Amino acid sequence: MKLSRPVSWFLLAFGVWSWVIWITFVKNLVADGSGLAFDDGRPTAYFWVHLLLAVVSFVLGTVVGAIGLRGLRALRRTS
């Protein structure tokens, strides 16, 4: 399957965006002072669920971004 240039750029941008957003979220999650993420210094269920969401988003963002990058490289080779 051949991806168009706009679709490839969109996928790459989505992958980068996903990493930027979720890294920021994880930093804020670890620094949480409200008591949601940590109870007496121990991680809560809220922490583990949101960390799992972040890890899954990192993986999906990486895969989607890699597909976009491969699409751009394939377009460069053919033009």
Could you report the per-residue pLDDT of 10-33, keeping only the tens digit for each? 999 999 999 999 999 999 999 998
pTM (two decimals): 0.85
According to DSSP, the residues that pair with 39 across neighbouring strands are 42
Say what the pLDDT of residue 1 is.
77
Q: Give the strand pairing for 42-43 and 38-39.
A: antiparallel
Q: With contact defined as beta carbons under 8 Å apart, do 11 and 67 qualify?
A: yes
The crossing angle, in degrees rounded to 10, of helices 5-30 and 45-78 is 160
Contact (Cβ atoms closer than 8 angstroms) between residue 76 and residue 30: no
